[in-house]
Structure formats: C-alpha cells, structure tokens
Amino acid sequence: MPDFNTANAVDYGLIAIYFAIIVGVGFYAARKNKSTDDYFKAGGQVPWVLAGLSNWVSGFSAFMFVAAAGYTYRVGLGAVVVFTTATWAYVLGYFFFAKMWRRARLDTPLQFLTRRYSPSTTYFYSVTAVVPQIVGIGQGLYILCIFVSTALGFGPRTFEIAGLTMSGLQLSILCVGVVMVLYTVIGGLWAAVLSDAVQSIIIVVMTVIIFPVSYLYLGQGSGLIAGFKRLIAEVPEGYLTTLHGTSGNPWFLLAYFINAILGYNVAWHLAQRYYSVPDERGARKMALLCAVLSLLGPLLWILPVMAAKVIFPDIASIWPMLKEPAEASYVSLALLLLPHGLIGFVVSAVLSATLGQANDAFNWLSATITRDVYAPLYRRATGALPNDRQQLNIARLTMLIVGVLGIAVAFYIPRFGGAFEFALQYYSLISAFYMPVALGMIYRRTPWWSAIAACSASLAVAITLIWLNVWPENPFARNIFAICAVSTVVFVISGRWYRADDPKHAELHRLDADLRTPVPDAPTANAQGLAVYGVIGTMSLILGAVLLACTALPSTPVAPATHNLLAGVLLVTVGYGLRRLAARAQTPS
C-alpha cells in the first residue's frame, strides 16, 4: 500500500474556505440579478473570455478526473484521441454554431424550439428533458463524490446521521449536493460564470503541478526525461499506441466524435453561454478559446494518469471497495505526490468543476420551466404575464426541486456499473434530444412538429435496440448511429408537409430572418461585465494566500512544501493581474 497523504484538518479547512467562497459568489451574483434577464443570461454582458472559460470548464468536470481517468488508465495513449474531440467540435462552433446561437436572440435555451418549431415542441422538450437532466445531475454528483470520498479517506467508513446509516460516499453526496443547490439557487447565471472562471484557474494550476511532479517521481531522482523513459519501458504492449482498447475501434471513435459535436454545440447549457456575450464576434472568440483549451487541457491529466499505470500497476489492490478501481488513478497520484494544503486544493478543484457543470443544468432547466412553461400558462390563466419577482421565485423553486431529485438519483447510480460505462449510455441516449436542434438550425423548411417526431422516433428505436441487445459489443456506437440516422430520416421526410403559409410558421420566418442578420459588434467593452474580473481576482488571491501559508506545514521528500509555494505564487499572480484588469476597466479614460 503506497504511503498516501490522506486529508487532514488543514485540507478540510481549505475545502471549507472554498465552499464559503462559492456560496459568497452566489450572494454577490444575486445583487447583480435585477431581473430574470440578468438571472438567466447575465443581461447579455458576460465578457467573451469569461464566457469561454465557463463554457470550457463546464465540460471539464469530475468525469475527466474519475471516469475518463479510469478509461485512460486502461487504454493509454488512445485516450488522447478520444478526449480531445471537443477541440474539433468547438472549431465547428467557431465557424457556424456560435454565430447562429447569438443571432437567434434568445432569453432562454429552449426558446429556440418555440421560435424554430412551436410552443408545443418546447412543452414536449420541457417535460421529456427533465428526467434525463436530473439523471445527468445525479451522475455528475456521484462521479464527483467517488473522488471526494476517496481523497478525504472516508469512503470505506460508515456514519450514523439522524438515525440513518450512511457510507462515506453517500455522506459526501449529501453534503456536496446541499452546497451545489444552495449557491445555484441564490445566484443564477452570474454565479455560474463567476464560479466557473475560478474553477478553470484552479484546474489549470492543479494539473500544471501534478503533470511534472508525477514524471519526476517516476524518474526516481533522475529528472523528467528519465520518467518518460521508464514509462515507455514498463507500460504494457500497445499502451503507447492510439489503437489500444476501444480507442482503436473506428465505430466507437466515430460515435464519440458525433456525440462531441452535438454535446459541445447544441447542449442547452453551452448554447446559453453563446447568447450571454454582447455580440457575435465575442461568441466566435469564445468558441475558439474553448477549442484551444480543449486541445491542451486534457493532455495535462492524460499524461499523469498514464504515469499512474506504472506507479500503481495493481490499483485494484489499493481500492478494492470501488466498482472500478482504475477510476481512482488520478486521485491516487494526488494523495501520493502532493502535500497537505494542496490535497484540499485538488479536492476543491474537482469539486468546483463538477459544481459548475451541475449549475449549468440547473440554470437552463429552471429558465425553461419558468419562461417557456410557467409564464405562458400563467398568462393563459390570468391574461397577464407574471412579474419578475414571481418568475425569480419559480426559477429558484425549480432549481431546489431539481437539485433534491438529483441528489436522490446519485444514491442509486452505483447499481448500474462503472461511471464511464454509465456516462456513455446516458450521453448516447440524450443525443436524441440534441439532433433535432442541430438539424433545425441547419435546415429551416420543416413543419412545426418535425422535432417532436424526430426525437420520439429516434429515442424509441434506440430503446428498442437496447431491449433486443442488438450489436452488444458496440452499445454506444449503436445508440448514436441509430439516433442520428432515424432523426435525420424522419426530419427530412417531414419536410414534405412544410407549408410556408401555415400560420404556425410565422415565428419560424422571423427566426430565419434573425439567423441571416448578423449581431452588430458591441462598440466598447462593458465596464460592469469587465468589473467581475476583480471578484475572480480576489478569490484567486484568497486561495493563493492560504496555500502560501500552507508552505509552513510539515512535509515529506515525496510531497514537499514547495509544491504549495508554487501553487500559491501562481494563484496570487493571476489574482493580482485580474484585479489590475478590473481596476483599469473601471477607470474613466
């Protein structure tokens, strides 16, 4: 058993500080929410860099450090091909989807369905999408808490809470879930983008440190190059090729690429970022920034996990209590190589990434239920729209209910197998909801019911194929190909019933005109939007100061205190630079 640095009081203290900062962000953001427009899309004044960081980190959750790390531990270099597919998806977004989302001039994500298809389509999606989104939130929370309970060392323990016996994993699900719901309900989209920006900084600092440290350890005192040479010499045959395991399966790779295109271009929470920036140029810059980050970011955690294959050759004996022990490979590196202080910092980083992803799901779902379901029903019943205060209350109540249900789902996910396999099945099935969105944005001459028909037919076929166990050796590819093929065929055939003079298509004609009309560039940077950099800088300074103080803690040769010093200096430098930028933005020229 390796000599791990399990979390101590200092690490718990740093995690508590992080939680306090996140909740504080929620309260700060609440002051910026003067209307539902602010709450759901931050008034359209989010700087493109901030929106890009938020967009990127929302797809860089604990999934990467747990489920994807387990996949990387098993297949090796082929993981690079799989987990950098987001780059090419964002490149497509740069050329097409970013500008189209901004031109759509939306207030909520599913408003696109109302404009492109019909209010009935929005109701259909609102009702049918709730359950998949709750499952997605529960999945993310479960994966996150595998990491948290393992890193904090209480995964195998049991606790008595209010007469109930809970495992360490279940207790972490409960505690993290409560914090997740609390700060999301308070802050809206401003809370999401602010916390996401801090999360991206934390993730980069953490991965930049673990990457070289893991190879220095592998080199046994002879340097980084020696570490890489040892990796090459000791990994299993085929581990350093891109054709090892499922990464060499062309059907799997093609399906994963299609899924990435849909997930990174028409997923509702990502679309919300595109129309939260001031102009079309900013939306395209945001997509390009995400493309670059999605190419470089995964390399910073894939290469250390490959080193873990040599450092922990029999990881199942270290974590026998886990369904998939390989999914603890990244956290094992952190516990072995990082000192106290940074241990808490790493847990905070992974916490922050997954909380941001869950917050995105909360936000678009509450926006949809409030703006696209509650408001029309209220107007039908009373003859007037609900005021902003009523809509904000409904939005927060929706977030609370969805969050509680997501926590409940997380308790049941362990029954369905490993996190990576469960995630693949989940993402493949929800592509049935995304296909009509992508098709409807590309081609706009189908009737108002075409999205409902395409989604229903493809989902029915996919579920039937699962039930019949067709092509069981490639279930992910089977689901993706079936959904894409059926959606496209039904969508194209439905075009035969399109009539331009149908009164139900009046809004479609207005949307079509909007999508052909560029959004003018914002004349100047919005001072209020740029001022939030000062808030992000302050949070970075606080975390950096804490890590600098942790330099005085006792350490070991394997995990020296200088790692805390390096992380602290990086955070303080970033924080100082952001505060200077914010100050300049607020100084009259």
CA distances from 486 to 424, 452, 491 (A): 19, 13, 8
pLDDT of residue 469: 94
- The 3-state DSSP class for residue 159 equals strand
Summarised one tens digit per residue, pLDDT across range 339-363 is: 999 998 878 777 766 766 676 677 6
Q: How is residue 403 written in tokens?
A: 């969050």
Q: How is residue 267 written in tokens?
A: 């997923």
Determine how many CB atoms are found less than 10 A away from the CB of residue 527.
13
C-alpha span between 68 and 115 (Å, rounded) = 37
DSSP 212-224: HHHHHHHTTTS-H
Domains and CATH numbers, the chain: 9-417 (1.20.1730.10)
More confident residue, 139 or 32: 139
DSSP 297-327: HHHHHHHHHHHHHHHSTTHHHH-TTSSSGGG
The phi and psi torsions of 473 (rounded to 5 degrees) equal -75, -15
> Is the pLDDT reported for residue 151 higher than 90?
no
> Is the pLDDT reported for residue 48 higher than 70?
yes
Contact 47, 529 (CB under 8 A): yes
Determine how many CB atoms are found less than 10 A away from the CB of residue 241.
13
Look over the chain and give the mean of its residue pLDDT values, rounded to a whole number.
85
C-alpha span between 42 and 54 (Å, rounded) = 13
Alpha-carbon torsion angle 305, 310, 312, 317, nearest 10: 120
> Is the pLDDT reported for residue 190 higher than 70?
no
C-alpha span between 26 and 191 (Å, rounded) = 5
pLDDT of residue 236: 92
Summarised one tens digit per residue, pLDDT across range 299-340 is: 888 999 999 999 999 999 988 877 788 988 998 999 999 999
Q: 39: pLDDT confidence band, cut at 50, 70 and 90? A: very low
More confident residue, 135 or 584: 135
The phi and psi torsions of 226 (rounded to 5 degrees) equal -65, -35
Contact 47, 277 (CB under 8 A): yes
C-alpha span between 144 and 384 (Å, rounded) = 43
Contact 102, 274 (CB under 8 A): yes
State which amino acid sits at residue 532: V
- The 3-state DSSP class for residue 364 equals helix
Summarised one tens digit per residue, pLDDT across range 392-432 is: 788 878 878 888 888 888 888 777 666 777 788 888 999 99
> Is the pLDDT reported for residue 117 higher than 80?
yes
Q: 502: pLDDT confidence band, cut at 50, 70 and 90? A: very high
Strand partners, 158: 167
State which amino acid sits at residue 130: V
CA angle (15 as vertex; 10, 17 as ends), nearest 5: 95
Q: 288: pLDDT confidence band, cut at 50, 70 and 90? A: very high
Q: 271: pLDDT confidence band, cut at 50, 70 and 90? A: confident
> Is the pLDDT reported for residue 96 higher than 60?
yes
